Amino acid sequence: MSYITLNRANYYHNLDILSQKAGDKSKIMAVLKDNAYGHGIEIMAGFAKDFGITKVAVKNLSEALAIHHLFEEVLILADQSCFQVFAQNISMSVHSYELLQKLPKDMPIHLNVDTGMRRDGVGLDEVQKCLQYILKHKLNLKGVFTHYRSSDDLNSEFYWQRELFAKVKSEVRYFVEKNSLSMPKFHSCNSSSLLRSEMFDEDYARCGIATFGYCAIDPLLGLFDLRPVMTLWAERLSSRYIKKGEKVGYGGVYESPKSQIVSTYDIGYGDGFFRYDGLGELAFCDGKTVIGRLSMDSLCVEGEDEKIRLIPCAQELAEFFKTISYDVLSKLSTSIKRVEESF
């Protein structure tokens, strides 16, 4: 059976790099959304807690409920269906004034302000209105944040949005002090924006992909020794001897250029792996390449190894499929067993 092993030491190593950048581990909000980018939310939450992480972000309420007993703060990033206070350490991201108006008194919230991404968040011209509403209806404003649209890229957009967020921070601070509210936490950086920051001075950074060992930041913005946490293993189902000129798999798109042993392994697109159509060369770890089309439950590779590693090569796979490592990792089926790597 295919399975995933998770390397605790590598996760700690990546968190150390990010904590150093941020100043301290208390300044890292570990992003565990989407089943911890496919790694398995419960195991990764345990690792994060053991490392000393106190704040995490998740996708929705069900992820929050699964792990909130481990942390001081759990921020829900993308769930618009939660209109009830579940626990004081579960906060909701508020992406619009409309949503704000549906939330009950005492609801812990982080207000998302759109500083240029134009995806979500309240407008710069709506911040006052939101603060007034929060004050009047006694919502618990725990944080104010924004998200950068180009933190991986070598251009000045990051600085432009950061300037706008600095103005938001002043506006919020002024309002909060004037009305004797408690000061919310300010946060804007994801992994890449923290890594490219020279002087990080916010309350914390929301880090996902780099904690798992990947980052697509432009190399001119810095090179970082991040180590993949996940290894995805597939086990051999069967092997056969293929003669030169024989075709392998659906459509017979692969014609063997030589006599060789080909084995079939138990991962396919039904497991959340990308479907490869057999065209071009899909290379992955340990110098191996996929032979013919990928099936729903299996793929073929030269040789007779009992098991093969398909990840850590999320970056290479992402490039082949013209996508990003986040996509390769987060799609992996929840039914694949995840275990801590043992030595």
Residues annotated as catalytic are 33, 250
Among 36, 44, 207, 230, the residue binding ligand PLP under the rule CB under 6 A is: 207
- Spatial contact of 230 and 338, defined as CB atoms under 8 Å apart: no
Among 190, 231, 298, 330, the residue binding ligand PLP under the rule CB under 6 A is: 190
Q: Decide whether 119 or 307 has the Cβ nearer to ligand PLP.
A: 119
> Which residues are 91's β-sheet partners?
75
State in angstroms the smallest separation of the CB of 208 from ligand PLP: 3
Report the C-alpha gap between 59 and 301 in whole angstroms.
Answer: 36
State in angstroms the smallest separation of the CB of 173 from ligand PLP: 22
> DSSP letters of 96-150?
-HHHHTTPPTT-EEEEEB-SS--SSSB-GGGHHHHHHHHHHTT-EEEEEE---S-
> Which residues are 197's β-sheet partners?
none
- Spatial contact of 185 and 10, defined as CB atoms under 8 Å apart: no
Exposed/middle/buried for 161, CB within 10 Å: 0-12, 13-18, 19+? buried
State in angstroms the smallest separation of the CB of 14 from ligand PLP: 11
Q: Tell me the three state secondary structure of residue 56.
A: strand
Report the C-alpha gap between 202 and 148 in whole angstroms.
Answer: 15
Among 209, 234, 317, 329, the residue binding ligand PLP under the rule CB under 6 A is: 209
**What is the pattern of x (binds ligand PLP, CB under 6 A) and - over residues 261-300?**
----------------------------------------
* Segment lying near ligand PLP (by CB under 6 A), choices 66-74, 201-209, 263-271, 286-294: 201-209
Q: What Rg do the C-alpha atoms of the chain give, in angstroms? A: 23
State in angstroms the smallest separation of the CB of 210 from ligand PLP: 6
The count of other CB atoms within 10 Å of the CB of residue 244 is 10
Q: Decide whether 31 or 290 has the Cβ nearer to ligand PLP.
A: 31
Indicate the pairing of strand 307-311 with strand 290-291.
unpaired
> Which residues are 74's β-sheet partners?
56, 90
- The residue with its CB nearest to ligand PLP is 208
Q: Does 191 bind ligand PLP (CB under 6 A)?
A: yes
- Sign of the dihedral defined by the CA atoms of residues 197, 202, 208, 213, in that order: positive
Q: Decide whether 191 or 263 has the Cβ nearer to ligand PLP.
A: 191
Q: Decide whether 191 or 264 has the Cβ nearer to ligand PLP.
A: 191
Report the C-alpha gap between 43 and 272 in whole angstroms.
Answer: 20
* Segment lying near ligand PLP (by CB under 6 A), choices 132-140, 173-181, 203-211, 241-249: 203-211
Q: Does 31 bind ligand PLP (CB under 6 A)?
A: yes
Q: Does 77 bind ligand PLP (CB under 6 A)?
A: yes
Q: Does 147 bind ligand PLP (CB under 6 A)?
A: yes
Q: Decide whether 80 or 256 has the Cβ nearer to ligand PLP.
A: 80
* Segment lying near ligand PLP (by CB under 6 A), choices 16-24, 83-91, 188-196, 315-323: 188-196
What Å distances lie between residue 31 and 28, 96, 332, CA to CA? 9, 22, 17
What helix, strand, coil percent values describe the chain, rounded to 5? 35, 25, 40
Among 208, 213, 268, 272, the residue binding ligand PLP under the rule CB under 6 A is: 208
With contacts defined by CB under 6 A, how many residues of the chain interact with ligand PLP? Answer: 12
- Spatial contact of 25 and 51, defined as CB atoms under 8 Å apart: yes
Q: Decide whether 190 or 231 has the Cβ nearer to ligand PLP.
A: 190
Q: Decide whether 21 or 33 has the Cβ nearer to ligand PLP.
A: 33
Q: Site residues (CB under 6 A) for ligand PLP?
A: 31, 33, 77, 147, 190-192, 206-210
